[in-house]
Amino acid sequence: MSRTSLCAIVLTAPLLLGAAPAAAASSPLNFTSVDVDLPFGERMFPGPNADAINNNCLACHSAGMVLTQPSLPRKTWQAEVEKMRSTYKAPVADQDVGPIVDYLAKLKGAD
């Protein structure tokens, strides 16, 4: 089978399958707007004392990557920040580590 005909099958199969029920109902598609609030979808870290984390932790991934983690004990957050620095070479200055860990322990801390 040629590449072109394989493409044709792959592209038209869903159209054919999708068209059958719509044709049976013979009603036009109605699109409606849905308003959804996704938790922690923001690009930046929210709330007070977020400067250090916003300045150091957004170069490689969004805030959501961090904020959708489970709540963690402070020392686990400390280790996480150290991992970003050592394993992933995040350029975080020594004096920023404390404020970042404080922020994470406050917002997403666990005992």
Q: Which of 44, 61, 73, 98 binds ligand HEC (CB under 6 A)?
A: 61
The stretch near ligand HEC (CB under 6 A) out of 6-14, 19-27, 29-37, 77-85 is 77-85
Under the binding rule (CB under 6 A), the answer on residue 80 touching ligand HEC is yes
Single out the residue of 110, 111, 104, 109 nearest to residue 46, CA to CA. Answer: 104
- Complex with ligand HEC: residue 19 or 60, whichever CB lies closer: 60
Under the binding rule (CB under 6 A), the answer on residue 81 touching ligand HEC is yes
Single out the residue of 106, 110, 105, 93 nearest to residue 52, CA to CA. Answer: 93
Give the Cα separation of 9 and 15 in Å (integer): 10
| Site of tokens 């922020």 | 103
- For the segment 87-106, give every residue that binds ligand HEC (CB under 6 A): 88-90, 92, 100
Under the binding rule (CB under 6 A), the answer on residue 63 touching ligand HEC is no
Number of Cβ atoms within 10 Å of the Cβ of 46: 11
If you compute the radius of gyration of the chain from its CA atoms, what whole number of angstroms results?
24
Under the binding rule (CB under 6 A), the answer on residue 82 touching ligand HEC is no
In this structure, what token pair is assigned to residue 53?
Answer: 């984390």
Site residues (vs ligand HEC, CB under 6 A): 56-57, 59-61, 65-66, 69, 80-81, 83-84, 88-90, 92, 100
